[in-house]
Amino acid sequence: MKPLIGITTSMEKDELTHSIAEAYIGAIVEAGGIPLVLPNVQDETAIKAYAQEIDGLLGTGGYDIDPMHYREEPHPKLGTVTPLRDDFELGLFKRMLEGNKPILGICRGMQMLNVAAGGTLYQDIYAQHDSPLLKHSQGSQARYASHFVEISPSSILYGIVQKDRIKTNTSHHQAVKQVPSSFSISGLATDGIIEAIESKEHSFVLGLQWHPERMLKQKDHVSKQIFTSFINACLH
């Protein structure tokens, strides 16, 4: 039987509309999973039920995460935050981690994964990072790659992509700052920005700062391998 994959949804500032890019759904279907789009409900019973029923969780991109969740005040460069989504996802990610269920976090999804596990973020990399940075919001369409990511040879990610350097797209101004002790850094941009993290204590918990679902349109082999590995992990 195909695994049931929960997919988080974005919200606008008014918190009146849930939305999701088709590319996430298509990536799960293509890899052999059954997508289940999850609304940002404020109900602990519902969150618990989702975590029990789904076989894996795909955390998607979107607006910024409220820094109060990692014990910081808002920086002037902090963008739009959606508290309802933050609260729902924090609860769901924590329950998935407690249940040792597979998680693939993409862009904001990686950042939420890091925060849920106890890590921190740069609220704005250009205002808060000390050294010169690459352009992390590319000018081309998202299906194209933009910069390199160096992959740790001892990581789960390396086992998936079988390369120590890949080229990815990029679209973000926040990024992982400190990872919790239970996680390791598995990918870095050449400017030092953390591009991939993974849990040292779970069977498959991976966060990626880029958007592999968008690169599937270019038939990118690495992106395909990432989703295939995620779905395979959800079968066990």
CATH number at residue 20: 3.40.50.880
The reported pLDDT for the residue numbered 131 is: 87
Catalytic residue of the set 107, 147, 172, 234 = 107
Residues 6+ apart with CB under 8 A from 123: 64, 67, 72, 74, 75, 77, 78, 174
Q: Determine the pLDDT at residue 132.
A: 92
Which pLDDT does position 130 carry in this prediction? 86
What residues in the chain have per-residue pLDDT under 50?
A: none
Give the pair of three-digit tokens for residue 71: 């014990």
213 catalytic, yes or no? yes
**Number of neighbours of residue 209 by Cβ within 10 angstroms:** 29
For 72, the domain range is 4-234
pLDDT at 179: 98
CA-to-CA separations, 236 to 42, 55, 233, in angstroms, rounded:
30, 9, 6
| Apex 10 CA angle, 53 and 126, nearest 5 | 125
**Based on the structure, what is the number of domains in the chain?**
1
In this prediction, residue 46 carries a pLDDT of 96
- Spot the catalytic one: 136, 202, 211, 234: 211
Which letter does DSSP use for residue 3 in this model? P
- Residue 234, burial from CB neighbour count under 10 angstroms (0-12, 13-18, 19+): buried
How many helices, marked H, and strands, marked E, lie in the chain?
Answer: 8, 13
Which one of the listed residues 69, 136, 213, 234 is annotated catalytic?
213
107 flagged as catalytic = yes
| Neighbour tally for 222: CB within 10 Å | 19
Pair of tokens at residue 105: 């976090």
Q: pLDDT by residue (tens digit) across 35-57?
A: 999 999 999 999 999 999 999 99
The pLDDT score that the predictor gives to residue 217 is 86
The DSSP bridge pattern shows strands 10-11 and 18-19 to be: antiparallel
d(CA 112, CA 10): 13
Query: Is the separation of the CB atoms in 208 and 169 below 8 Å?
Result: no
Considering all CA atoms of the chain, what is the largest pairwise distance in Å, rounded to the nearest integer?
49
- The C-alpha atoms of residue 234 and residue 236 are separated, in whole angstroms, by 6
221 flagged as catalytic: no
